[in-house]
Amino acid sequence: MSGAAETANGTVSAGSARTARYFIYATLIVLALVYLLPLYVMLTTSLKSLDEIRGGDMLALPKDPSIAAWVKAWGEACIGVSCVGIKGYFWNSIKMVVPAVFISTLLGALNGYVLTKWRFPGHRIVFGMMLFACFIPFQAVLIPMARLLGAAGMSNSTAGLVFVHVVYGLGFTTLFFRNYYEAFPDELVKAAMIDGAGFFRIFWRILLPTSGPIIVVTVIYQFTNIWNDFLFGVSFSSGEASPMTVALNNLVSSSTGVKEYNVDMAAAVFAALPTLFVYVVAGRYFVRGLMAGAVKG
């Protein structure tokens, strides 16, 4: 029903309709600029020198753009006591995200397959319980998980964080694939069964090849969530094993020495780049994942 509001009936004069449209465009453009402002400030600040930041205007373009702050943030900035930049933490996050996304997506696909095509009595309760797990405040599992990781010797390790993210991502990945496979015709699965295809064969040959879009949605959703996680990172890791978000927070909130705003902003840009990149490249799938995560059932 796009465009229901304007000019559709003759009572609105052409002049006032034009004014209304100018108003709509003006409002939207102003709002868009407001939404872009923090990103703009973040980027320009990261390209300025400290003197320029202290003496100049936050909104001004950098007079003499330099990536010195980026270089420093990446390789020299002090986080805690070690001054080796954020690059190690960036890689920590990559090493955490890749396996966690892969495992949780694969398990979610299998779960969704079972919960739609191989239903058993009680499947609804199983799904309901997995769904509720998406929403729990993680504070309610933080202490036991810390104890468990400690006892298993996995605290402060990437493996531990991978495990945690797989566990608490399962609900969402299962939800995505379940809703997607729900719409997949049962007749095709039944026909394959009659032809003698087994459980995995049907999954591998029939469902998986059609799952492209939902795999993209799930991978993006999980990637964004896990990359952006802070609570688990700060609870279960410290020092050099921390993921990027924790390192960024440590860098920005440390109060020792001169506050280097440009380096802080450059580090924030590094932390934002992977998810922003995914958003720019596959925004449509990103939105679809968010929606699927929001409109349940």
**Which position among 132, 190, 213, 239 is part of the footprint of another protein (CB under 8 A)?**
132
Query: Of 207, 211, 223, whose CA–CA distance to 290 is shortest?
Result: 223
**Which position among 18, 19, 54, 65 is part of the footprint of another protein (CB under 8 A)?**
54
Provide the terminal-to-terminal Cα distance of the chain, rounded to the nearest Å: 26
Instruction: Based on the shown chain and the rule CB under 8 A, indicate whether residue 183 belongs to the binding site for another protein.
Output: no
Site string for another protein, 63-92 (x = CB under 8 A): ------------------------------
| Nearest distance, CB of residue 82 and another protein, angstroms | 20
Which helix or strand (DSSP H or E) is residue 237 part of?
none
Which listed range, 30-38, 77-85, 151-159, 184-192, lies at the site for another protein (CB under 8 A)? 30-38
Instruction: Based on the shown chain and the rule CB under 8 A, indicate whether residue 141 belongs to the binding site for another protein.
Output: yes
242 class by beta-carbon count within 10 Å (0-12 exposed, 13-18 middle, 19+ buried): buried
Which listed range, 61-69, 71-79, 184-192, 267-275, lies at the site for another protein (CB under 8 A)? 267-275
Buried b (16+ CB within 10 A) or exposed e, 9-25: eeeeeeeeeeeeeeeee
Which listed range, 37-45, 67-75, 153-161, 211-219, lies at the site for another protein (CB under 8 A)? 37-45
**Which position among 14, 15, 51, 59 is part of the footprint of another protein (CB under 8 A)?**
59
**Which position among 18, 19, 22, 31 is part of the footprint of another protein (CB under 8 A)?**
31
Q: Looking up tokens 């493996």, which residue turns up?
A: 159
Cα angle vertex 53, ends 270, 243, to 5°? 20
Instruction: Based on the shown chain and the rule CB under 8 A, indicate whether residue 185 belongs to the binding site for another protein.
Output: no
Instruction: Based on the shown chain and the rule CB under 8 A, indicate whether residue 196 belongs to the binding site for another protein.
Output: no
**HSE-CB of 155 using CA atoms within 13 angstroms:** 15
| Nearest distance, CB of residue 271 and another protein, angstroms | 5
Token pair for 123:
């499947």
Query: Of 183, 178, 176, 168, whose CA–CA distance to 221 is shortest?
Result: 176
Instruction: Based on the shown chain and the rule CB under 8 A, indicate whether residue 41 belongs to the binding site for another protein.
Output: yes
Q: Which is nearer to another protein, 7 or 157 (CB)?
A: 7
Which listed range, 77-85, 153-161, 210-218, 257-265, lies at the site for another protein (CB under 8 A)? 257-265
**Which position among 47, 53, 214, 292 is part of the footprint of another protein (CB under 8 A)?**
53
Q: Which of residues 102-121 bind another protein (CB under 8 A)?
A: 107, 110-111, 113-115, 118, 120
What is the spatial distance between Cα 98 and Cα 276, in angstroms, rounded to a whole number?
17
**Which position among 16, 19, 27, 82 is part of the footprint of another protein (CB under 8 A)?**
27
Long-range contacts of 270-274 (CB under 8 A, 24+ apart): 270/70, 270/73, 270/74, 270/86, 270/90, 270/244, 271/86, 271/244, 271/245, 272/42, 274/93, 274/223, 274/227
Instruction: Based on the shown chain and the rule CB under 8 A, indicate whether residue 294 belongs to the binding site for another protein.
Output: yes
